[in-house]
Structure 1
Amino acid sequence: MRMQTLRPHGLECVTWNVHRGRGQDNRVDPERIVDVLASEVCAHGPEVLALQEADEETPPHAGLLDLKRIEAETGLRSIHSNAALRWGPQSDGFLGAILFLHPDFEITATHVLDLPGHCHRGAVVVDTRKNGKALRILTTHLSLGQMLRAAQMRTIGQFLFRRPEMPTIVLGDLNEWRPWGGLAFSKKLVGLRLSGPVRRTFPATRPLLPLDRILSDQPAAVREARVLDGPGIRVASDHRPLAAQVLLA
């Protein structure tokens, strides 16, 4: 097991759309995803890991990955042991979204959100405490269409408006190709002023579009954002992972 050490002034976060294990060679190989997570994606010891498209696309949205091995290799823990945080009894996450956290996080509340759209989309929300400070972590996979993304982020914003206010990290495949983020990330729509560096993550072979994001509602909190690379990363999925250090208020 890779033992993690919580960084005193920030969190190392990673998000990766694993494309349901289908690689650039068109081969579906979930075991390869776990190999690449262990050897390349999590080699630098992240404390937050968000995966998208990590369950089957259609009901019953069965799990694809060996979560026990991911936990053993990374030292992180899936937050989905509670059945209420999974789509169904055969799922590992909620509509393909799986969140792993360092075991030293104190989890104070968890939620899953159904998001509007003709294709199933969802969000996973976790309220935590770290070093006595409250922190909310939200991961999601938004739709390709701009209007649906706006509707989904509005749904997320309305949910957060009813929750206790705390610093918030949003990470995942947000499917927004425009560097400025468009309507979906605007404060008027979401209620939060989300920001973070823009890095190109798609397609994996030659990234052109910044579809994956790590954002915070704390000004200039997302630092050292970088697209991860490696021989396994380039073939295992159609996205490259995005990593960033997020400073804590």
Structure 2
Amino acid sequence: MTDVETFRCVSWNIHRGRGNDGVVDPDRTARVLHEEVCSSDLDALILQEADEEAPPHRGFLDLARIEADTALRHIHGDASHRWGPESHGFLGTVVFLHPRCRVEDIALVDLPGHCHRGAVVVDFRLDGRPLRLAGTHLSLSQGLRVAQMRTLGQHLFRRAARPTLVCGDFNEWRPWGGLALSHGIIGLRLSGPAPATFPARRPFLPLDRVLVTAPARVATARVLDGPGLRMASDHRPLRAEVAFDP
């Protein structure tokens, strides 16, 4: 059971179920999620590349199995919260939350670029504390990452202020974040460490991040490891513990 002062989350690009052996195996993905990724104290799981790449962006996971194994709940049950009726989420980004997280609003944000990208923005309360979670997957191109984070930042700026976590596969290899993650582009001051998550077998690039706004802070950020994780995707999962200062 978690406590109100800490929010624990994992972000993982699951590579559409394709492992480092070239085999697409959704059963392996679900098994590794259960055995090596999701502990009993987790509040949120944010996946990227959890839908097929081409329209209609079908989901390929066994959602009921993941919910049973992790005790987390898939938040995209309503069709308006998915890209399409066969999708698990929005353009591959799928969010699971602990049942104690009371969801208030879910928004899907289209991000610019020749390769369709998007963000899922969830407003919720954890034991009465208002929080916001934005999960996304940014482009490989720096110019497009700047445009995408500008678009997401403008959306967040127009919403009522609350502590915000922005997480996912940012495809940003520079630990300092570059222009795309700067305050001038986003309009929010985001902070958080940048441990290496890519490639899975021997990570040296910090492509995946969990960043937060004050008064939240990333107390710990740990790249998960295990025999299944080194095989199941080209990324390692990033687990973060977010603390809330008075």
TM more than 0.5? yes
Q: Name the counterpart of 2:172.
A: 176
Q: Give the AA of the match of 2:110.
A: D
Q: Give the AA of the match of 2:179.
A: L
Q: Would you say the 8 A contact 2:50–2:61 is kept in 1?
A: yes
Q: Name the counterpart of 1:96.
A: 92
Deviation at 1:130, TM superposition (A): 1.6
With 175-184 and 218-227 compared, the bigger mean Cα shift is at 218-227
Alpha-carbon separation, structure 2, partners of 1:109 and 1:84: 12
Unaligned runs of 5+ residues in structure 1 are: none
Q: Name the counterpart of 2:207.
A: 211
Q: Name the counterpart of 1:151.
A: 147
Deviations 1:189-247 (A, max 9, x none): 11111110110000001001000000001267101111000000000000000001001
Q: Does 1:53 align with 2:38?
A: no
Alpha-carbon separation, structure 1, partners of 2:60 and 2:21: 18
Q: Does 1:137 align with 2:133?
A: yes
Q: Give the AA of the match of 1:227.
A: V
Deviation at 1:162, TM superposition (A): 1.2
Equivalent residue for 2:11, pick from 5, 8, 15:
15
For residues 130 and 43 of structure 1, do their structure 2 counterparts lie closer, same or farther at Cα, with a shift above 3 Å needed?
Answer: closer
With 79-88 and 220-229 compared, the bigger mean Cα shift is at 220-229
For the residue of structure 2 that corresponds to 1:221, the secondary structure is strand
Q: Would you say the 8 A contact 2:2–2:41 is kept in 1?
A: no
Q: Does 1:241 align with 2:237?
A: yes
Q: Give the AA of the match of 2:228.
A: G
For the residue of structure 1 that corresponds to 2:105, the secondary structure is strand
Q: Would you say the 8 A contact 2:100–2:127 is kept in 1?
A: no
Q: Would you say the 8 A contact 2:4–2:126 is kept in 1?
A: no
Q: Does 1:231 align with 2:227?
A: yes
For the residue of structure 2 that corresponds to 1:158, the secondary structure is helix
Q: Does 1:38 align with 2:34?
A: yes
Deviations 1:15-52 (A, max 9, x none): 00000000000000011000000000013531110000
Alpha-carbon separation, structure 1, partners of 2:46 and 2:169: 9
Q: Would you say the 8 A contact 2:7–2:242 is kept in 1?
A: yes
Unaligned runs of 5+ residues in structure 2 are: none
Deviation at 1:6, TM superposition (A): 2.3
Moved over 4 A (4+): none
Q: Calculate the aligned-residue CA RMSD, in Å.
A: 1.0
Q: Does 1:194 align with 2:190?
A: yes
Q: Would you say the 8 A contact 1:228–1:240 is kept in 2?
A: yes
Q: Would you say the 8 A contact 2:40–2:70 is kept in 1?
A: no
Q: Within 5 Å, give how 1:65-80 maps onto structure 2.
A: 65-80=61-76
Alignment size in residue pairs? 245
Deviations 1:39-80 (A, max 9, x none): 000135311100000000000100110011000000000110
Q: Would you say the 8 A contact 1:171–1:213 is kept in 2?
A: yes
TM-score (norm 2): 0.97
Q: Name the counterpart of 1:62.
A: 58
